[in-house]
């Protein structure tokens, strides 16, 4: 996996816990689907 510091988004919003996936999404149908998938797969 890549080092998180290479991604632009981590400069503005640094990861609180880099061992976990952080999902940034809007409440659109696809954003909700991604959120549900991550919750269901653990």
For the chain, give every domain's residue range: 4-41
**Residue 40 to residue 11: CA distance in whole angstroms:** 29
> What is the per-residue pLDDT for 33?
96
Q: Could you tell me the pLDDT band of residue 1, with boundaries at 50, 70 and 90?
A: low
What pTM was computed for the model? 0.56
Q: What is the mean pLDDT of residues 30-42?
A: 93
CB 18 within 8 A of CB 9: no
- pLDDT over 70, % of the chain: 98
pLDDT at 10: 82
């Amino acid at each position: 996996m890549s080092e998180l510091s290479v991604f632009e988004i981590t400069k503005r919003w640094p990861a609180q816990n880099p061992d976990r996936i952080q999902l940034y999404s809007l409440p659109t149908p696809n954003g909700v689907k991604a959120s549900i998938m991550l919750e269901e797969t653990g």
